[in-house]
């Protein structure tokens, strides 16, 4: 039997790679890496097993998946609130409905996806998110030794406000973490995104992005606590037993439906008015409601592949980890330099274009002012006054 792992070539949110790492744990080997946006194009004589957890549909052209893929449809979220009519059209096509029927029941990451599929007559159930199965493979004693390092992770759109608030409450180091490698973009497909932005998103290959995501997980795992509004920071932290609080300031309730109640949740105003909700020096233990969902996910995934690894870690040495990190740091420095250069180049070109257009506007305004003056002089002339009766006759 062959096995495939789904990867993301045209996205910059490492939360996608964290979902891939969760699926990787259940594979005895990886024979193929299949691009999330090209799952319809995979074509092999022998079917391959692939766990298809994650977010759909960014690319309507890629749905439904190839029949060469033997899928485990679990922990899936479908973006059904999108204004993109083509996405919904692809999701509700006869071909898509038939695909769902052939592979039902469908495990859904959230209740909004369950409800959507049920409305189409498709058997679906709430499975939760596969990132809840993440495990570092350490014993309880080893976890106790590694836990509680003297730093806090803040991963949020309002990180500045949170960090400013926490600085008056704790002496611990506070690290601001961002899962997006570059500024987000409206679409993840190269044919319709600006060329310079596409070059940035393809700067790293999927193996490098998986490595960076694994580094993120190590940071979450070893933190004394985490505060975040990102789903794929909160759920991995929960799975790795790091105290975590989910801030609900981002919206996206349909994506969190059924998951946010597994976590300690608050909004920023409530937290600032009651710090005891999540005292970072003495954070409360995480709720345990997720454990049943975790157990069911592990059982289904292990049954599908017949395998489970002890931890999410890659099978690489500490030396290789350091070498890869050094290489990435060097590339990041070069990439950042080139990125800034490209942005500045484009800014200078825009400034030149604006300057030219402002000059054109200025010249046109001068012409308009001159013509208005000529009209006013004509209206004030004796000939204009004398011919006034004639103009009235013409009307």
What is the 3 state secondary structure string of 304-346? HHCCCCCCCCCCCCHHHHHHHHHHHHHHHHHHHHHHHHHHHHH
Cβ atoms 30, 4 nearer than 8 A = yes
Q: What is the pLDDT along the chain (395 residues), one digit of tens a residue?
A: 999 999 988 777 888 999 999 999 999 999 999 999 899 999 988 889 999 999 988 778 889 999 999 999 999 998 877 667 777 888 889 999 999 999 999 999 999 999 999 999 999 999 999 999 999 887 777 766 666 567 888 888 788 899 999 999 999 999 888 777 654 333 334 444 444 444 445 567 888 888 889 988 988 998 999 999 888 899 999 999 999 999 886 555 666 777 888 999 998 899 999 999 999 999 999 999 999 999 999 999 999 999 999 888 887 777 777 777 677 766 666 666 776 787 788 888 989 999 999 999 999 999 999 999 998 888 888 887 787 777 766 55
Closest CA to 261 of 157, 111, 158, 45: 111
pLDDT of residue 254: 60
What's the gap between Cα 312 and its chain centre? 20
C-alpha to C-alpha distance for 230 and 250, rounded to whole angstroms:
8
SS3 state at 19: helix
Cross-strand bridge partners of residue 265: 246
DSSP 8-state secondary structure symbol assigned to residue 104? P
Q: Where are the domains of the chain?
A: 2-131, 132-290, 316-395
Cβ atoms 124, 104 nearer than 8 A = yes
Residues 266-300 as b or e (16 or more Cβ within 10 Å = b): bebeebeeeeeebebeebeebeeebeebbebbbeb
How far is the CA of 319 from the CAs of 88, 113, 210, 220, 278, in angstroms?
47, 43, 17, 21, 37
Dihedrals phi, psi of 236, to nearest 5 degrees: -60, -40
Cross-strand bridge partners of residue 107: 125
pLDDT of residue 83: 63
Dihedral-angle region of residue 74 (phi above 0 means left; psi in -120 to 50 means alpha; beta otherwise): beta
CB proximity list for 17: less than 8 A, separation 6 or greater: 7, 8, 206, 209, 210, 212, 213
| Residue given tokens 């949020």 in the structure block | 156
How far is the CA of 380 from the CAs of 4, 10, 267, 318, 373, in angstroms?
85, 67, 69, 90, 11
């Amino acid at each position: 039997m062959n096995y495939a792992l789904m990867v993301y070539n045209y996205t910059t949110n490492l939360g996608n790679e964290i979902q891939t790492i969760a699926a990787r744990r259940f594979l005895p080997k990886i024979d193929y890496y299949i691009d999330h946006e090209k799952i319809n194009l995979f074509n092999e004589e022998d079917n391959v097993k692939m766990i298809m957890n994650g977010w759909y549909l960014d690319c309507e052209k890629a749905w439904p998946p190839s029949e060469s893929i033997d899928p485990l449809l679990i922990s899936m979220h479908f973006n059904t609130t999108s204004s993109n009519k083509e996405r919904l059209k692809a999701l509700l096509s006869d071909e898509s409905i038939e695909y769902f029927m052939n592979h039902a029941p469908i495990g859904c990451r959230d209740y909004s996806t369950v409800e959507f599929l049920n409305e189409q007559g498709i058997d679906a159930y709430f499975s939760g998110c596969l990132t809840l199965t993440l495990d570092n493979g350490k014993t309880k004693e080893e976890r106790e030794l590694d836990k509680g390092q003297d730093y806090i992770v803040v991963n949020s759109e309002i990180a500045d406000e949170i960090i400013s608030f926490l600085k008056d409450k704790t002496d611990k180091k506070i690290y601001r973490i961002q899962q997006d490698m570059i500024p987000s973009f409206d679409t993840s497909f190269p044919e319709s995104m600006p060329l310079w932005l596409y070059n940035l998103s393809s700067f790293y290959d999927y193996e490098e992005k998986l490595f960076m995501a694994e580094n993120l997980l190590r940071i979450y795992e070893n933190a004394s606590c985490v505060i975040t509004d990102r789903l794929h920071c909160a759920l991995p932290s929960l799975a790795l037993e790091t105290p975590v609080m989910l801030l609900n300031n981002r919206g996206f309730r349909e994506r969190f439906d059924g998951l946010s109640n597994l976590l300690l949740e608050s909004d920023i105003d409530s937290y600032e008015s009651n710090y005891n909700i999540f005292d970072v020096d003495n954070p409360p233990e995480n709720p345990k409601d997720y454990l049943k969902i975790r157990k069911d996910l592990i059982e289904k995934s292990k049954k599908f592949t017949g395998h489970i690894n002890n931890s999410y870690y890659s099978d690489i040495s500490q030396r290789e980890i350091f070498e890869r990190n050094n290489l990435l740091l060097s590339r990041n420095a070069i990439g950042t330099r080139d990125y800034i250069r490209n942005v500045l180049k484009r800014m200078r070109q825009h400034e030149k274009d604006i300057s030219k257009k402002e000059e054109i506007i200025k010249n046109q305004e001068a012409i308009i002012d001159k013509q208005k003056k000529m009209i006013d002089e004509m209206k004030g002339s004796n000939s204009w006054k004398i011919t006034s009766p004639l103009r009235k006759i013409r009307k």
